[in-house]
Amino acid sequence: MCVELFNLHDKVALVTGAGKGLGKSMALALSESGAHVAVVSRTFSDVEETAQEIEGNGVTSIPIAADVTKLADVKKMVDIVLAKFNTIDILVNNAGAFIGGKMQEFSLDDWYKTIEINLTSAYLCTKTVGMHMIEKKRGKIITISSALGVFGASRSSAYCSSKGGVIQLTKALAVEWAKYNINVNSIAPYTMETDTTREMLKDEKIKQSIISKIPLKRIGLPSDLSGTVVFLASKASDYITGQVIFVDGGFSAQ
């Protein structure tokens, strides 16, 4: 049955930035398809809550407090997951942050912070988990980039640069690791309702201006990523690698 292609029963996923927002929603979606999920953020109470919700779906979840911009934390995080499950089949590199500002006023410190959380974290997690996947000769790596990794936006130069980097990391590794049967793909959302955008979207003028750029005429919800993340984590996408799937209400089609 075709639906079996999407079954993640007994697969083990690791989702970074799963304390809230898109990461939490994707972690729950993976668990609804049968995966055990390790959930990571710096705030333990957030991932503890996510893990409890995940276990409600009848699978195992472990919450881990780690800063994915730090190699020592990433190594520890991967060791914890391997000690518990003995494998990692799916990695979702979701942790990220938006720091905006005019280029003329944008500090070097904020530039480095943006690159660290959005791009370096993906490098560290992908490399560390990838070592294990290479040994097993299989794996699914999903990066969460952004439509702004391809399209420009004002007051967003560091963010756009970091997400462009995430897309190129995805494509380069898709080519390099295809021989190990590892699929590397990216999900590129546009504006989604999370803590990152909540304040901005309270301004009705800004909200309407964003909606006017979206053919489907609404802001995205975290649950809008569910189908895509399950698809990219599952057998259904075995012949797809190096791709960027825009989950953006059609923003990028114009």
Catalytic residue annotation? 159
User: Measured from the CB atom, is 17 or 63 closer to ligand NAP?
Assistant: 17
CB of residue 108 vs ligand NAP: minimum separation in angstroms? 19
Helix, strand, coil percentages in the chain from 3-state DSSP, rounded to 5: 55, 15, 30
User: Measured from the CB atom, is 131 or 153 closer to ligand NAP?
Assistant: 153
CB of residue 223 vs ligand NAP: minimum separation in angstroms? 12
Q: Tokens at residue 101, please?
A: 């500002």
DSSP for residue 116: I
CB of residue 70 vs ligand NAP: minimum separation in angstroms? 8
For residues 217-254, one letter each, b for 16 or more C-beta atoms within 10 angstroms of the residue's C-beta and e for the rest, the string is eebbebebbbebbbbbbbebbeeebbebbbbbbebeee
User: Measured from the CB atom, is 14 or 173 closer to ligand NAP?
Assistant: 14
- Interface contacts to ligand NAP, rule CB under 6 A: 16-17, 19-23, 40-43, 46, 66-69, 94-98, 117, 144, 146, 189, 191-192, 194-197
Helix locations, the chain, DSSP H: 21-32, 44-55, 71-85, 108-115, 121-136, 157-176, 195-202, 204-211, 226-233
CB of residue 179 vs ligand NAP: minimum separation in angstroms? 28
User: Measured from the CB atom, is 90 or 117 closer to ligand NAP?
Assistant: 117
